[in-house]
Structure 1
């Protein structure tokens, strides 16, 4: 099994934390804009698309850092 070196693992861990925070911030922004009625549909759709891309990257990083262990 391939083992990540500590530097790569630390870098990925930092990226993961950053992406999770950005994902949470986008979620809050989308909810606020949707609830207030001031956000236009195009803006909200772009934010949702960015949020989905972040989620995909989060899952990708998690798979690298915490690979499935086959027993």
Structure 2
């Protein structure tokens, strides 16, 4: 069973993943935006694994 916190983290992780995909598919992806999104996604994933 998922805790509400873990469910929220999974939702945030999925949102970040979609934003990374959308930014990557733009004609001129912003490398700074991509870096920040990927770092945020990694932080969420790390928090999920400690739950």
TM-score by length of 2: 0.88
Aligned residues: 50
Name which one, 1 or 2, has greater alpha-carbon Rg.
1
Deviations 1:42-66 (A, max 9, x none): 01100000000000000100xxxxx
1:8-47, aligned counterparts within 5 Å? 13-47=3-37
**Where does the alignment leave 5 or more consecutive residues of structure 1 unmatched?**
1-11, 62-71
Query: Which stretches of structure 1, 4 residues or more, deviate above 2 A after TM superposition?
Result: none
TM-score by length of 1: 0.65
Deviations 1:14-59 (A, max 9, x none): 1100000000000000001101135410011000000000000001
